[in-house]
Amino acid sequence: MSHATDLPLWAALLVSFFLILGAALTLLGTIGMVRLRSFYERIHAPTLGTTWGAGGVLIASMIFFSVLQSRLVLHEILITVFVIVTTPVTLMLLARAALYRDRTENNDGVPSFQIGDRPGEASAGPES
């Protein structure tokens, strides 16, 4: 870390705060992915890592390189925008695929194909 000796103290504290915040939130999201019970609960947990986890680490990287090179380094915004745009798309695709698989195998706890078919299960919702 010889390149960080000329970093001012406030920048070091700010960068380490955002770095540890982002890494800890990513860890919390994956712990939730391990501990939650059903798949539809589990798919919510890693989004903690893709919103504030990635956001914290990218803000830390932006502050670090901006202070170190004494100019505005903002190319981390590219990763931020890309992650924020693509995560909902992929997780929606994955959740719809899982719902399709559960419906074709007639598993419990998922709504049926047509709502008018079986009125007892239509209002049950996806929670199990």
Partner 1 sequence: MSAAIMLWSVNIAQLLLIAAMTCCVYRLVRGPRAQDRVLSLDALYVCAMLLLLTFGIRTGSTVYFEAALVISLFGFVSTAALAKFLMRGEVIE
Site of interaction with partner 1 (CB under 8 A): 1-5, 7-9, 11-13, 15-16, 19-20, 22-24, 26-27, 29-31, 33-34, 39, 42-43, 46, 49-50, 53-54, 57-58, 60-61, 64-65, 68, 73, 75-76, 78-79, 82-83, 86, 89-91, 93-94, 96-98, 100-101
Contacts of 95 (CB under 8 A, 6+ apart): 40, 43
- For 6, the token pair is 């000329």
Give least dist CB 27 to partner 1, A.
Answer: 4
Q: How far is the CB of 9 from partner 1 (least distance, A)?
A: 5
Q: Which of 54, 117, 119, 60 is nearest to 87 (CA)?
A: 54
Q: In a 10 Å sphere around its CB, with 0-12 CB exposed, 13-18 middle and 19+ buried, how is residue 35 labelled?
A: exposed
Q: How far is the CB of 17 from partner 1 (least distance, A)?
A: 8
DSSP, collapsed to helix, strand or coil, labels residue 121 as helix
Minimum distance from residue 62 beta carbon to partner 1 (Å): 10
